Structure 1
Amino acid sequence: MSRKVVRTSKFRHVFGQAVKADQCYDDIRISQMTWDSNFCSVNPKFVAMIVEASGGGAFIVLPLSKTGRIDMSYPNVCGHTGPVLDIEWCPHNDNIIASGSEDCSVMIWEIPEGGLTQPLKDPVVKLDGHSKRVGILSWHPTAHNVLMSAGCDNVVILWNVARGEAAVRIDSLHTDLIYSACWNSDGSQILTSCKDKKLRVLDPRKGTVIAEKDKPHEGSRPVRAVFVSEGKILTTGFSRMSERQVALWDPKSFDEPLTLQELDTSSGVLLPFFDPDTGVVYLCGKGDSSIRYFEVTDEAPYVHYLSMYSSKESQKGMGYMPKRGLEVNKCEIARFYKLHERKCEPIVMTVPRKVNTFILSLLDVQALQNEVKELREMVEDLTKRVTELESKN
């Protein structure tokens, strides 16, 4: 008996493909900052990228349809006095974007329909509360006007954006620089990774620790963490020998990881993007030229390697399109916006489907329906004739 060794999965043949050159965004001077954020944020209307700017920080906002070469004089969002470190579109309003900067402030901007026609210097709201640079932003997934920011002052602040004030300030839990901070799917918990080598699950209402894990990865380099399905946590980090790792944890029993896999010896921090609809997690390394993707399931070894998209040029940042911005009729399950030094290149992840067979089967069904219709008409006609003959006799 031959044993089946290939695991069956609907996403085993997912493949990535870069769009044609004329669908890229060219001649954009992407920021040279060494900060480990995405540097790019996208939604179904706009793509925003942090760019080089003299005399302060700026980012450019382009309508998705404005592809090709971007003129050097194209207007920027340029209200910060220091370099912009992170940008994040609001999930509830596609025209609202938040930015965090080295000038210790968070600003909320409203982008007009169709994009900018002149430089935008005045934010809708300015949020002051951090004493050092603000490098992490994340909007609440379900509640309107709630924004989380984390700064180099080791403080996490939950803002009431409508009022322009801090609703919750978590300033005594983190003893060092915060590497990452994110919400779970319904916004009832916050997950942070910190330079003090601790992973923390927080209650955002009370500002207290629900669960804590010391040294999820042995190495001293930055750890990234995201919530995945069923409340589990996926982390990326480094071993003591500086090998990149990916691990899955159950916060109810934080002692040992459900799985821990070593990937390679590159030095770039792996940015994880999780898709809850498909259970696929994408790992994009800063400075890498590839995107690895894995399927997260509830069967060992829990994190199953699927494949890898590779290209020649390395990425300086990565934007991830929300599901509602994808072309699902083309079997698209994810789309990334890869930043090069001077351009932004969309990369489409597709599940191959036997479309031709599907169309043929539809045509077959239509043909059968037409035949049935003709047969019914013939039967009705014959019935009428029989009735007429019977009435004559």
Structure 2
Amino acid sequence: MLLFPSILHVFSLCAGSSLRLDVTMSRKVVRASKFRHVFGQGVKADQCYDDIRISQMTWDSNFCSVNPKFVAMIVDASGGGAFLVLPLNKTGRIDMSQPTVCGHTGPVLDIEFCPHNDNIIASGSEDCSVMIWEIPEGGLVTPLNDPVVKLEGHSKRVGILSWHPTAHNVLMSAGCDNVVILWNVACGEAMVRIDSVHPDLIYSACWNRDGSQILTSCKDKTIRVLDPRKGTVIAEKEKTHEGSRPVKAVFVSDGKILSTGFSRMSERQVALWDPKSFGEPLTLQELDTSSGVLLPFFDPDTGVVYLCGKGDSSIRYFEVTDEAPYVHYLSMYSSKESQKGMGYMPKRGLEVNKCEIARFYKLHERKCEPIVMTVPRKSDLFQEDLYPDTMGPEPSVEANEWFEGKEGQPILISLKDGFATTTKSKEFKVHKSLLKTTSAAMGHQHDNTGEVHALQKEVKTLKETVEELTKRVSELESKN
């Protein structure tokens, strides 16, 4: 008789625990997040950039860079390297005779717009050089083959470029010579040369949010956090991903690191690491067996990371939080055509009145298609929770100050009234006055021909001086 109630009791306990389990499971499935319903959408055909010969190079960079004024794409070029820079509104079919930036003697491998001046773009090439270009207001009307500055210091092709997020005129380049160089672009000088850290090819290199650390991934399967000014390793993790295909890594919130790579069985993986205790990953998820390298784009304002695979036809997105499993799958944008590259618009270039939280520029074989990521909201009012103050175009420290040890925190702007594109870009100065007046003239739309000629003469003289100094440095180095 006593047995019966005890069995009932066990049953009730089991039922209760399974009920609790069901509740817990369902809670996990419907994790509350304002980004759960984010959806991606390609724009109409007339808003794409058509008839463009996108580069056929097999290199794992974005091949595209965008800002609120321009979109730039690496294109095929005979007898050298070139890229196309178009005003954002110049959509539709692009004429074959559209002028390009074409000063490199080898194919261009990476391009990146300066975050502090929308008219300045850097390019790295197979010809071992890095070039800095100034794009005229309104775009190119003639081919551009004279860079403002030519940076020479790599002995093999340069495949990775990244501007410092807060210091003006600081650029990082990484080459196939396994060397990372930090340049003071204002004087065309290599200030830091990190040449004894990476024993093999560098797959990715990027800054943290305030530019006080660099993160690299290497063919030796190790990711490293570096002190940029000392060139020393702060933390490193070997065998981040077991597979032999390229690993990419970016800083995410709270100094954590998100990496994409491959397992030994060639499955694509995404992992989250805490460099303070680099032992085991906080999470490691296997995605699929595609062969394309996953390019990660992290938005610090929303905590959303977008993974765009080279050769894929989809963009996956995840939310990174501080609760397990830390990297939460949100959704996937899929289309029919595969992507050869991807540009990512800075937050200040988005349409906040349409609840747009990200915009990608997807490169096809012959065109570039903007893809808009939107949070569905009914209200037309400014959604403060979607748009916290974000990184603005103003740098917080000059290059020479930064190299001397001064840190610069990001200067944030509100997007409440939309970003004013009339905001003055930071002047691009080289050798004291080089281009200073030109930038100002462009900003105020003055047209003083005599002044421009005088400046062009000054530019030529200064370029000759730079070339002479570079030659002397090379001679001295070869003697040593």
TM-score (norm: length of structure 2): 0.73
Change over 3 Å in CA distance of 1:161–1:13 after alignment to 2 = same
Distance 2:39 2:454 in 1: 34
Change over 3 Å in CA distance of 1:62–1:2 after alignment to 2 = closer
Paired position in structure 2 for 1:382:
469
Helix, strand or coil: the match of 1:2? helix
Runs of 4+ in 1 over 3 A off after TM superposition: 1-5, 364-393
Change over 3 Å in CA distance of 1:160–1:8 after alignment to 2 = same
* 1:3 pairs with 2:18: no
Distance 1:215 1:225 in 2: 13
Helix, strand or coil: the match of 1:162? helix
Shift of 1:392: 112
Change over 3 Å in CA distance of 1:251–1:119 after alignment to 2 = same
Distance 2:254 2:327 in 1: 14
Name the one with the larger strand percent: 1
Paired position in structure 1 for 2:452:
365
* 1:156 pairs with 2:243: no
Change over 3 Å in CA distance of 1:21–1:210 after alignment to 2 = same
Distance 1:116 1:291 in 2: 31
Distance 1:37 1:3 in 2: 39
Deviation per residue, 1:39-94 (Å, 9 max, x gap): 00000000000000001000000000000000000000000000000000000000
Q: Decide which structure has the larger Cα Rg and report it.
A: 1
Change over 3 Å in CA distance of 1:81–1:219 after alignment to 2 = same
Paired position in structure 1 for 2:13:
none
Helix, strand or coil: the match of 2:116? coil
Shift of 1:372: 68
Deviation per residue, 1:244-287 (Å, 9 max, x gap): 00000000000000000000000000000000000000000000
Deviation per residue, 1:10-32 (Å, 9 max, x gap): 10000000000000000000000
TM-score (norm: length of structure 1): 0.89
Change over 3 Å in CA distance of 1:377–1:304 after alignment to 2 = same
Change over 3 Å in CA distance of 1:374–1:119 after alignment to 2 = closer
Q: Which moved more, 1:371-380 or 1:16-25?
A: 371-380
Paired position in structure 2 for 1:322:
346
Q: Which moved more, 1:68-77 or 1:376-385?
A: 376-385
Change over 3 Å in CA distance of 1:380–1:12 after alignment to 2 = same
Paired position in structure 1 for 2:167:
143
Aligned positions of 1:18-37 closer than 5 A: 18-37=42-61
Deviation per residue, 1:146-180 (Å, 9 max, x gap): 00000000000000000001010000000000000
Change over 3 Å in CA distance of 1:223–1:367 after alignment to 2 = closer
Distance 2:107 2:169 in 1: 24
Distance 2:171 2:478 in 1: 83
Shift of 1:5: 3.6
Change over 3 Å in CA distance of 1:26–1:200 after alignment to 2 = same
Distance 2:137 2:180 in 1: 32
Distance 1:91 1:65 in 2: 20
Shift of 1:318: 0.2
Helix, strand or coil: the match of 1:4? helix
Shift of 1:389: 105
* 1:59 pairs with 2:83: yes
Paired position in structure 1 for 2:261:
237
Aligned positions of 1:36-185 closer than 5 A: 36-185=60-209
Shift of 1:35: 0.5
Helix, strand or coil: the match of 2:186? coil
Shift of 1:205: 1.1
Identity of aligned residues (%): 91
Distance 1:348 1:187 in 2: 28
Change over 3 Å in CA distance of 1:239–1:381 after alignment to 2 = closer
Distance 1:265 1:386 in 2: 49
Shift of 1:236: 0.1
Distance 2:244 2:35 in 1: 34
Shift of 1:243: 0.1
Change over 3 Å in CA distance of 1:391–1:333 after alignment to 2 = closer
Change over 3 Å in CA distance of 1:365–1:100 after alignment to 2 = closer
Shift of 1:313: 0.2
Change over 3 Å in CA distance of 1:205–1:31 after alignment to 2 = same
Change over 3 Å in CA distance of 1:116–1:211 after alignment to 2 = same
Shift of 1:197: 1.1
- Tell me how large the CA RMSD over aligned residues is: 20.4
Distance 2:282 2:55 in 1: 38
Change over 3 Å in CA distance of 1:376–1:8 after alignment to 2 = farther
Distance 2:33 2:271 in 1: 21
Change over 3 Å in CA distance of 1:341–1:5 after alignment to 2 = closer
Identify unmatched segments of 5+ residues in structure 1: 358-363
Change over 3 Å in CA distance of 1:72–1:208 after alignment to 2 = same
Shift of 1:196: 1.0
Distance 1:381 1:171 in 2: 25
Change over 3 Å in CA distance of 1:95–1:381 after alignment to 2 = closer
Shift of 1:126: 0.1
Helix, strand or coil: the match of 2:470? helix
Change over 3 Å in CA distance of 1:116–1:302 after alignment to 2 = same
Deviation per residue, 1:94-120 (Å, 9 max, x gap): 000000000000000000000000000
Name the one with the larger helix percent: 2
Paired position in structure 2 for 1:221:
245
Distance 2:376 2:347 in 1: 18
Distance 1:182 1:220 in 2: 21
Helix, strand or coil: the match of 2:29? coil
Change over 3 Å in CA distance of 1:380–1:219 after alignment to 2 = closer
